[in-house]
Structure 1
Amino acid sequence: MKDIIQSLSESEKNCPHHIAVQHNHEQLTYKELNQYSNILARMIQETDRPIIAYGHMSPFMIVAMIASIKAGCGYVPLDTSLPQDRLHTIIKKMNPQFLINTTDENIEQFELNVIDINTIKNNTCELTFESKIKADDIAYTIFTSGSTGEPKGVQISYKSLNDFTRWMVDLNQLGEYQQWLNQAPFSFDLSVMAIYPCLATSGTLNLVDKMMINKPKRLSEMLDEAKINVWVSTPSFMEMCLMLPQLTETKYASLKEFFFCGEIFAHRTAKMLLQRFPSAWIYNTYGPTEATVAVTSILITEDILREYNPLPVGAPRPGTSLILGHNDELIITGDCVSMGYVYDEIKTNKVFKKANNQRAYHTGDKAEQRDKQWFINGRIDFQIKLNGYRMELEEIEFQLRQIDCVKEAVVVPIYKDNKVTQIHAVVVSNRPNHIDLTEQEMTRDIKGALKEHIPEYMIPKKIHFTDKLPLTVNGKLDRKKIAEGVN
C-alpha cells in the first residue's frame, strides 16, 4: 500500500469528485481535500512546531491534519469540548506557531497565528505541494489524561501511523469506496482508526457530532442518509445505539463491518450486535494511545461468543510483540510504540523502555494469553484495597454484567481520608424484563447472584439504579461523573 499522502494524491487523480469527508451538509471532495491541504501546507511549511487543529467535527479538521503531515510538522487535535484551562495548558506546552480554527469562535486569547477556514477557501489558486514528512517525523500528538492531573502528549511517528493504516486496510473486508462512520472526537485517538483507513481506500468519512450522541434520532437520520458500511466507535456508544430497536441488518443492509476499541467490549453487547447483524464482520481490538490506537484484533463469531466470556482482544498485528512483565503487566514492543511524551522526560522514562532492542511501552494493563489469544484483565491501577483485601473493580463489574437483571454496571470506590471504606455499584437494570421488581428486590437478587461468584468482601455495599450511564465526549463511560453522583 502507498503511504497516506500518496494514496490521497491517487484518489484526487482517480476520483476527484468523490466525497472524502462529510458532516451534516458540509462536504469535501478528494480534489478539495487535497487542494485545500496543499494551500494550508504552503502557509505553514516554514514551521518546525506542530500546528494546533482546533474544532469539533468540521471536515476542515481533516484538511488541517493532512496539511500538517504534508508540511512535515504534524498536528495536535483539540476538541471544542475541552475546558479552557486544559486548552491553555496544552497550547502553552506545545508553543505552536499556528492554530487552525475550524469553528466560528473568536480564539484570539491564545496569542498565536490563527488561520481560519475562510483564509484557506479564499486562496483559489490550484497548486501542488511536495510532501516533506519523513518516516520518523511526528505525524500527530494526542493528549491523554495524566495521573497527576496534567495531560500527557503522546507522539506518534508517520511510520507508525502508516503501519497502523495498512493493518486496518488489511482487516477491512469491504474494500474501497466505503462509507465510514467515525464517532470519536479528533482529540481521541480512536478517530485515527476511521480517518486514515477510510481515506487510504477512497472512502467517505461520515462524522458523528456530540449532538447526534445526545440525540439518537439524529444519528438514525444520518444512518438513513449515508448508507454507512463501516462503523468505528467505542463499545459504550454501540450499547447506547442498540437501544434503537430499528438498528438491525434488515433496516441497515449496507452496514457490514464494525470496529471497536477504547474500552472493554462486553460479551452481552457483542452477542446482541451479532444477533442484530448476523452477516457483519465485528472486530474487537485493543490498544493504548501510546501504541498507535490498536495492536490486537479478533473477529467476533458465534464460536468465539460460545467459547469465551469475557471476550479476548485477539492476536497482535504484524511487527508488534506482546510480553508479560511484573504482576502480569502487558508490555507492547515494536514500531507501533510512541516516541514518548512530548517535553516530559520523567514520565517518558517511567513507562517507555527497551525490550529486544525495540521500543517498549509498559501499559499498566493486566493481561494473559490463552489459546493464542490475548485477554485484558483490568488495570493494575484499578486495584483497590478494602479492609486489607486487594481487589479489581473491573472483575466485580464483569460479574455484575453476567446477572440477568443487570444491563450495565460500574463499581465506584468510596473514600474517606484517602482510604477506600466501601464500594458501591451503579446499575442500569434490564427493564422492562424486571418491571415488577422493586429496587430493593433487585438489590437483593443482585447481591445474591454475586455471592455465587465472588467473595463477600467484594460485594458492593450499596447498589444505585439509573436509567443510563453518562458518557464522556469520547464516548467512554464517564466514571468521574458516575462517582460524583454516588459520593
Structure 2
Amino acid sequence: MVSILAAIEQTACKYPEKTAYRVDDMALTYHELWHFSDSVAHSISKLGLQRQQPIIVYGHMSPFQIVAFLGAVKAGHPYIPVDASIPSERLQTIIKASEAELLLSTEPLHTKVHIPVISVDDLAAQPSSKPSLPSTWVRDEEIHYIIYTSGSTGKPKGVQITANNLANFVTWMQEHFPFQESSVFLNQAPYSFDLSVMDLYPALVGGHRLHAISQEQIANPKVLFDSLAASNTSIWTSTPSFAKMCLMNKEWNQELMPALTAFLFCGEVLPPSVAKEIMQRFPHATIYNLYGPTETTVAVSFVQVTEDLLAKFEQLPIAPLSNPNISLLEDGEIVISGPTVSAGYLNAPELTAKAFQLQDGKRMYKTGDLGYEEDGYLFFSGRKDYQVKLHGYRLEIEEIEKQIGNLPPVSDCVVIPIAKDDEIVSLSSYIVLHEPLTDSAFKMTKQLKESLSDYLPSYMIPKSFKYMETLPLNPNGKVDRNRLAAWGTV
C-alpha cells in the first residue's frame, strides 16, 4: 500500500522542478511544495500542540492550502479544510465542534475567532532548520483529514479519514483508472468538499499536475473556458452539475481540450442525458460514474459508461454487484465495508455508533442511501431520510429547516427538495410567520435570505419562499411533505 507522504517526497526528489499545482497565474513545483510544507511542519511543531489536535486550514484554491495540508500531517495533525466562501457562523461552529486550537489561513478572515490565526505564507517563508521526519508524520490509523458535512441536528458532522483510509483510496484509484505519466488533473471542487480528494492525492502521489479553477473563474465563462483550453487537462474530476454548466458552451468539446481522456464523475447522480452529450463531444474520452459518501473516503465503486449501458438502462448504475465492499440490507439501505470506511465523526460518539457498526469483524457504514439490484448492477434509488444532493453538495434538510426556524419572524417551516427528471434542482421553503405579512412577500423573502446568509452557505438557502397560514398535515398528524412536494411541481 502506498505511503501518501513518502510517494510525494519521492516525486519531489526525482522531479523537483516539475509543476505540482497551478491556479490562475500562481504555480508551485514539487520541490517548493515539499520544502514549504517542511517549513510549515517545523513551525507547527514549535507551538506545543497535542499530537492529532485538528488544525483548521482556511482559504480558497491557493497553492498554499496544499502546503498547509501537508505541513499539518507532517507535524502529526489532521487538517480541516474550510472554504473562504462559508458564513462566519459556520466557521465558528466548526472551530467549536472540532476543538481546534490553530487556524492556518491563505485568505483574509472577515470574522474574529477565539483561536490563533497564522498566515500560511508567513510560515512557509520561515527557514526550516531540517526536513520533517517520517516518525512525526500522521500514519496508520491516525486521522489525516476531517471533512465537515451537513448534520441533521443543525450542527455539521466532522468525518474523520485516517492515513490508512486515504492510502487505500489512492491505491484503488491507481489500480482502476488510466492515469498516464504526467497527467493533468482538473481541480474543480473546493477543498471543503471531499470530491477534491479524488484529484488532489492521486495527482500528487503519481507526480502529476493539478490545474485548479477558482470561483472567480467559474463566474466568468470566458475566463473559465480560456483556462480550460490552456490547461492541457487529461483527467476531469467534477460533479455532473459542473459538467452540465460547461455543456451550455457549444465550444466545450474535444477540440477545445484535446488531451482529455477520462471523466470521473462523483458527488451526485449522473444523468444519462449528460453522459450521452459528453460522449458525443469528447469521443476520445472515457466516462466513469463513481459512487461513495464522505464517510467512506470519496468513492468506493465505479461503472464505465458505455453506449450499451445507456441503451439498456433508464438510469446509470453506481456499482457492479461484484464489488465486495457494497451490500444491501433487507430494507434496501446501502451498506459499505472495507479499508476506506471512516474512523467516525469527530467528538460525536453517539452519531458514530449509529452509523458505523461491526459485522463479522468488519467495520461498516450505513449510508442512508437506498438501492436496488438489476442485471448485475447496483442502482441508487434515493435517501432513507431527508438528506439530498444539490449541485454536488450533500445537504440535510433538517439543518436548513432548523436555521430558518431560528429566524425571529418564523413560527414554522418545511423545506422541500424540487426534482426534475429524477434530479434535485432546487429547494423550496414553506413558512408560517409569527405575524401576518404586513409588507410584500418579496421584501420578507429578501430579509430572510439575508439573515440566513450569516448561518448557511448560499447553496443551502432555498430558492423560493412561500408563506402559509398553516402547514398541511397528513392522517398521522405529521406535516404532509408529499402534498407540499406536489404543490412545488405545479
Task: Describe how 1:105-184 pairs up with structure 2 within 5 A.
Answer: 105=109, 109-125=112-128, 127-131=130-134, 132-184=137-189
- Partner amino acid, structure 1, of 2:38: N
Which stretch shows the higher mean deviation, 299-308 or 121-130? 121-130
- Partner amino acid, structure 2, of 1:482: K
Cα shift at 1:316 = 7.6
Aligned counterpart in structure 1 of residue 350 of structure 2, from 346, 350, 353: 346
Question: 1:410 matched to which residue of 2?
Answer: 425
**SS of equivalent to 2:462:** helix
Question: 2:214 matched to which residue of 1?
Answer: 209
Task: Describe how 1:432-443 pairs up with structure 2 within 5 A.
Answer: none
Cα shift at 1:53 = 0.6
Cα shift at 1:39 = 1.0
Aligned counterpart in structure 2 of residue 322 of structure 1, from 323, 326, 337: 326
CA distance in 2, matches of 1:66, 1:314: 32
CA distance in 2, matches of 1:218, 1:375: 37
Cα shift at 1:478 = 4.2
CA distance in 2, matches of 1:287, 1:359: 16
Question: 1:304 matched to which residue of 2?
Answer: 309
CA distance in 1, matches of 2:339, 2:140: 11
Note if contact 1:333-1:355 (Cα within 8 Å) is conserved in structure 2. Answer: no
Question: 1:467 matched to which residue of 2?
Answer: none
**SS of equivalent to 2:104:** strand
- Partner amino acid, structure 1, of 2:190: P
Question: 2:272 matched to which residue of 1?
Answer: 267
- Point out where structure 2 has 5 or more consecutive residues left out of the alignment: 389-415, 434-452, 467-486
Question: 2:12 matched to which residue of 1?
Answer: 12
Cα shift at 1:274 = 0.6
Task: Describe how 1:86-97 pairs up with structure 2 within 5 A.
Answer: 86-97=90-101
TM-align CA RMSD: 2.7
Cα shift at 1:114 = 2.3
CA distance in 2, matches of 1:62, 1:269: 31
Normalising by structure 1, we get a TM-score of 0.79
CA distance in 1, matches of 2:286, 2:56: 36
Distance 1:192 1:223, change over 3 A: same
Cα shift at 1:477 = 11
Which stretch shows the higher mean deviation, 57-66 or 207-216? 207-216
- Partner amino acid, structure 2, of 1:128: P
Cα shift at 1:195 = 0.3
Which stretch shows the higher mean deviation, 77-86 or 174-183? 174-183
Note if contact 1:297-1:316 (Cα within 8 Å) is conserved in structure 2. Answer: no
Deviations 1:197-222 (A, max 9, x none): 01011111111111122222221011
Cα shift at 1:313 = 0.9
**SS of equivalent to 1:279:** coil
1:71 correspondence with 2:75:
yes
Which stretch shows the higher mean deviation, 118-127 or 293-302? 118-127
Question: 2:404 matched to which residue of 1?
Answer: none
1:481 correspondence with 2:462:
yes
Question: 1:358 matched to which residue of 2?
Answer: 362
Distance 1:340 1:207, change over 3 A: same
Aligned counterpart in structure 2 of residue 224 of structure 1, from 229, 241, 246: 229
CA distance in 2, matches of 1:44, 1:316: 46
Note if contact 1:229-1:254 (Cα within 8 Å) is conserved in structure 2. Answer: yes
Aligned counterpart in structure 2 of residue 242 of structure 1, from 244, 247, 250: 247
Note if contact 2:54-2:80 (Cα within 8 Å) is conserved in structure 1. Answer: yes
Note if contact 1:296-1:317 (Cα within 8 Å) is conserved in structure 2. Answer: no
CA distance in 2, matches of 1:118, 1:286: 36
**SS of equivalent to 1:381:** coil
Note if contact 1:182-1:232 (Cα within 8 Å) is conserved in structure 2. Answer: yes
Q: How many percent of aligned residue pairs carry the same amino acid?
A: 37
- Partner amino acid, structure 1, of 2:95: I
CA distance in 2, matches of 1:33, 1:380: 43
Question: 1:21 matched to which residue of 2?
Answer: 21
Which stretch shows the higher mean deviation, 69-78 or 91-100? 91-100
CA distance in 2, matches of 1:411, 1:197: 32
- Partner amino acid, structure 2, of 1:39: S
Note if contact 2:54-2:78 (Cα within 8 Å) is conserved in structure 1. Answer: yes
Aligned residues: 413
Note if contact 2:20-2:27 (Cα within 8 Å) is conserved in structure 1. Answer: yes
Distance 1:41 1:409, change over 3 A: closer
- Partner amino acid, structure 1, of 2:37: S
CA distance in 1, matches of 2:125, 2:74: 20
- Partner amino acid, structure 2, of 1:222: S
